[in-house]
Amino acid sequence: MSLAGARIRDYEVWGRLGQGGMSELWLAKQTVLNLPVVIKTLRRDSAGLDSTGVARLLNEARVMVRITSSKVVRALDAGVHEGTPYVVLEYVDGLDLAELDARRRASLGVGLPLWFCAHVMGQVCLALHASHQTGILHRDVKPSNVFGGAETGIRLGDFGIAVPHLDVESMRDISGTFRFMPPEQMRGEPLDRAADIYAAGATAFDLRYGSPPFLTIDEVLDLRNDPPFPEPEGPHEAYFQHVVGHMLEKVPGKRPKDTHDLARHFRSIDQALRPHRRVAFLRQSKAPGRHAFQVGTCRVEIETGDLAEQEVDGIVNSAHDHLRMDGGCGAALRAVGGMGVEEEALAHGQQALGACVATSAGKLRARKVLHAVSAWNEISCVARAAHRTLLLADELGLRSLAIPALGTGAARVSVETCANAIATTLRWHLMLGGTGLSRVKFVLRDASTTERFAEVVEQALRGDRAAGPAVDIGRPAVLEAQPEAPTQVETDPDDGVDR
């Protein structure tokens, strides 16, 4: 049964976000608070739509609500709608780590940097610590069940097969993803915390090296088969491999006992390797409507102007889910680029919120138009859409982008919300490294909006902590007849990733 457009108590459903083997995920909003949520239901065509499946779904909500940790996706509500059981979950405006890793490998030919893998695993271990301290075993830790964004931080989700530690009979049910399962789980033996620690180790291995440590059931069950670590690229990677190898011990009793201690090990790697960001602020105090920053090798510009007149590799369209270009910046891009741009977009069909698809640019002075579906009815998916836009730009080999204020038109997302979501996501994307983007220009419709947008972007690029001492590197030779405008380099150790 489709829930698209349905009203479930105080929840208004937009449409489907995605689906798994037995479940479907629907984006909705709680109408009293305008809070974005995810509603999880069982698929009608799945084998799980029976009393066992229903009990498992409702058990997921009861399990998740017991874990009081910001590192875990929260369960907010549960019930039955027209015979269909559902669970209401917190919406995390970001990507799962399996998608992030796969798209980087496909577009850039590189995986995730070691500092980031360590950061993610530190957060996952803290989430497992909170779960274990309430007596809950996750039983399905893997990259696709880890979600993250620059604003939200890293969250562990999908407790669909989680069980209380003392529920021995439920643990004999061999469920999970075999490439991340420990040998004892495959054998249907009673489990303890060590099972989640093994799965977390397999997740760490996968994030760093592109695949789980063992690819067949026989490899997992063979006690003589050690994880195939490649040659470490330095002492920190050797340390990482030592920690992960300990987590992947085939005998449960040989694994580490405490995920909190594991988090400390991963955090030390993260802090040793994370890049310090140097942001050069070139704010022109007497030129309203124009701002520029340098973040690593990428120049970030903000100006008042006409999006359709920009000369860049890619122009981003703030798109509706149906991809018709009949209003806002879409109509402006269609007017200059031609009807062919819209016709090509419509061929992609309706898109989920947070999606981004590419078309040719027609007569626009660009190679591609990237249609980002970022918001609906005051509900922002801007960070998710922005990250997919940046990843797609890398996949297409685009080096420069022009981006409007996503979702601030008919969807009524505030300018500040949009600016913070895009800028923090851009900062994260640049810090992960490997991107080919060298210029990102935000193009706003009027000077007032530009100033509001720029103020939030500047703070987002700086990060949340106080900046380090400013180092005067001299004044620019030419700044459009503004010789009094200072140029400073802010040295800031903050990496911009929420903890």
Q: Is the pLDDT of residue 480 over 70?
A: no
Which sequence spans correspond to the domains of the chain?
7-90, 95-273, 277-492
Pull the structure tokens for residue 68.
């009081």
Q: Is the pLDDT of residue 26 over 80?
A: yes
Q: Tens of pLDDT along 54-103?
A: 777 888 888 888 998 999 999 999 988 888 889 999 999 999 999 999 99
What is the pLDDT averaged over residues 341-350?
Answer: 96
> Which residues contact residue 413 at a Cβ distance below 8 angstroms, ignoring those fewer than 6 apart?
374, 375, 378, 379, 380, 382, 406, 407
Residues 183 and 223: beta-carbon distance below 8 Å = yes
Rounded to whole angstroms, the Cα distance separating 318 from 415 reads 13
What is the pLDDT averaged over residues 108-128?
Answer: 95
Q: CA torsion sign, 231 to 232 to 234 to 235?
A: negative
Helices marked H in 113-212: 114-133, 168-171, 183-186, 193-209
pLDDT of residue 282: 52
What is the pLDDT averaged over residues 188-205?
Answer: 95
Rounded to whole angstroms, the Cα distance separating 96 from 77 reads 22
What is the pLDDT averaged over residues 423-437?
Answer: 93
Q: Is the pLDDT of residue 278 over 60?
A: no
Q: Let me know the angle formed at the C-alpha of 297 by 360 and 309, rounded to the nearest 5 degrees.
A: 35
Rounded to whole angstroms, the Cα distance separating 496 from 101 reads 19
pLDDT of residue 317: 98
Q: Is the pLDDT of residue 286 over 60?
A: no
Rounded to whole angstroms, the Cα distance separating 129 from 258 reads 7
More confident residue, 363 or 469: 363
7-90 is classed CATH 3.30.200.20: yes
Rounded to whole angstroms, the Cα distance separating 477 from 280 reads 15
CA 250, distance to chain mean position in Å, is: 31
Burial 113-136 (b: 16+ CB within 10 A, else e): bbbbbbbbbbbbbbbbbbbbeeeb
Q: Tens of pLDDT along 148-160?
A: 988 889 999 988 8
AA identity, residue 73:
V
CA 293, distance to chain mean position in Å, is: 24
Q: Is the pLDDT of residue 488 over 80?
A: no
Residues 115 and 273: beta-carbon distance below 8 Å = yes
Residues 179 and 212: beta-carbon distance below 8 Å = yes
pLDDT of residue 21: 66
- Render 450-486 in DSSP notation, one character per residue: HHHHHHHHHHHHH-SSPP--EEE----S-SSS-TT--
pLDDT of residue 172: 59
Q: Is the pLDDT of residue 169 over 50?
A: yes
Per-residue pLDDT band for 489 (boundaries 50, 70, 90) equals very low
pLDDT of residue 468: 38
**CATH number for the domain whose boundaries are 95-273:** 1.10.510.10
Per-residue pLDDT band for 5 (boundaries 50, 70, 90) equals confident
pLDDT of residue 174: 67
Rounded to whole angstroms, the Cα distance separating 267 from 273 reads 10
pLDDT of residue 276: 63
Q: 277-492 falls under which CATH superfamily?
A: Leucine Aminopeptidase, subunit E, domain 1 (3.40.220.10)
Q: Is the pLDDT of residue 129 over 90?
A: yes
> Which residues contact residue 128 at a Cβ distance below 8 angstroms, ignoring those fewer than 6 apart?
138, 141, 156, 193, 196, 197, 200, 259
